[in-house]
Amino acid sequence: MMSIPHIGPDKHQRDDTWSRLLERVGHARDEQAFAKLFAHFAPLIKGFCLGNLNSNFPADAAEEVVQEVMFKVWQKAPSYDATKAAASTWIYTVMRNCRIDLMRRNKRTPTDKDGIDIDDIWDEADDDQAFVYLQQSSNEALIDRSFTQLPPEQRQVLTQVYMQGKTHQQISDETGLPLGTVKSRVRIGLKKMQTLIVGAEKLAEKNRESWQ
Amino acid sequence: MITHHPDDNLLTEYSSGSLANAVGVIVCAHLQTCPHCRKRVEQLNKLGAAILNQSVAEAVQPESFAQLMTRIRSNSEAAASDKASTPQQKPQELHPAYANDPLLKHLPKIIAKLLPRDGKLKWERVSGSLKTARLKTGQSQYEVAFQRISSGGKVVEHDHRGLEVTMVLCGSFSDEDGVYNQGDFLVRNPGEIHRPTATQNQDCLCISVVEAPVKVTGLFGKLVNPFLSFRPA
């Protein structure tokens, strides 16, 4: 029997509501689709930022970040490509870049006028790269699930890294944990997620084979 | 083939946006040449998205969406009138001074953006086989510079008082620990001593980010510090 070319788990996953809405915002400048995205993501972005209270990131800035991120989402939506990233991942990177930008702006020094664009350094667009993805990276649902299965101390340190945007050194300084412990928790956490993901993918593959 | 990559800790700091700009530049340059790490960062970005998805939703101010739409509409009107009055900007082309230099013409996109637009990259001779040119990245914590080692040239042995991150942009060099080819990414921790040598057949170009001054430990160390004085820009 001839096998049907397999598009990969990502392509299928991309069929989610948010990615389709974001495409409509990008292609048709659809304000209703944008309103739905806002209603879902704005409170999450605010919640994510408020997980951030004890950092040098001002607490009252959460609303400002929400405005800034969703403004950029609207502006950049035409470049969104659903075959490359799910809406939530794409919005995460827009949010991360906004936050870096805002934090830099808060402690700007005179030399910063020569600075290069944050979006150039944290470049997710990657338009002229001829990378061939032989294998799609794992889908978001699996990553979501594997993250919740991590032991608390690994989940906590990864949450600190991402939510507070702190370097390993800063986390070590603040928590009193040795730097090596912070580093190894991050590494072991990521490795464990990888094992969980590979296990789940193998299982899915097996089910697919038996189905064919 | 690229054999030296940034580790998971560094890629996580990149993906979470906590890396200093200057180090971010080098990681970005590596990602632009290494599909393997690029894919890793994609995974890590999905982890960022998972943490966003699992955040506790906090109600935003009721007028938030209306405010945003007002801003978007006034911005698109301004943009439309801008477009009518100013000609379309052409994408920046590589200055001929760089395009004719075999070491500089195929730089990763992010590194090409660091080159002075007027074509006047200022090389300073450090020793017979090493030249360096400082690059501006708009921060004061790190010094970012090209290091150009002529074929077969040896760099004076030096140790690092601060973190040094290096990427090979063209050619290759070796030190006590191994051989580093185009795209390879190296981190030297404070206190590590090394003495790089470029391979015989080709000049080698690296970009490095140094956190604090390095001091020379070689015989002529007091006379020739390979990295001159520390001057971030």
Radius of gyration, CA atoms only, chain A: 19
Model confidence over A117-151: pLDDT tens digits?
A: 888 888 755 544 444 444 455 678 889 999 999 99
Is A68 an 8 Å CB contact of chain B? no
The whole model's pTM is what?
0.85
Model confidence over B2-15: pLDDT tens digits?
A: 889 999 999 999 99
Contacts A46 to B, Cβ<8 Å: 57-60
Q: How far apart are CA A92 and CA A74, in angstroms?
A: 14
CATH architecture of the region A138-212: Orthogonal Bundle (1.10)
User: DSSP label at B57?
Assistant: P
Question: Quick one: CA dihedral B2, B130, B156, B230, positive or negative?
Answer: negative
Domain regions of chain B by residue span: 1-233
Give me the residues paired with residue B216 across strands. Answer: B158
Contact A158, A186 (CB under 8 A): yes
**Percentage of the residues of chain A whose pLDDT score is greater than 70:** 76
Is B59 an 8 Å CB contact of chain A? yes
Over range A69-93, report the average pLDDT. 93
Of A92, A148, A161, the CB nearest to B18: A161
Contacts A50 to B, Cβ<8 Å: 56, 58
At the top level of CATH, which class does the domain A1-107+120-126 belong to?
Answer: mainly alpha
Nearest-Cα distance to chain A for B154, in Å, is: 32
Burial (0-12, 13-18, 19+ Cβ within 10 Å), A148: exposed
- Domain B1-233, CATH among 2.60.120.10, 3.30.70.980, 3.40.350.10, 2.40.30.10: 2.60.120.10
Nearest-Cα distance to chain B for A212, in Å, is: 29
Contacts A86 to B, Cβ<8 Å: 46, 49
Chain A residues 3-22 with a CB less than 8 Å from chain B: none
Q: How far apart are CA A85 and CA A87, in angstroms?
A: 6
Residues of chain A with CATH 1.10.10.10: 138-212
CB within 8 Å: A120 and B28: yes
CB within 8 Å: A44 and B67: no
ipTM for the complex? 0.85
Nearest to A63 by CA among B63, B197, B190, B214: B63
Q: Which residue of A has its CA nearest to B108?
A: A129
Question: Quick one: CA dihedral A57, A59, A60, A62, positive or negative?
Answer: positive
Q: Greater confidence, B188 or A182?
A: A182
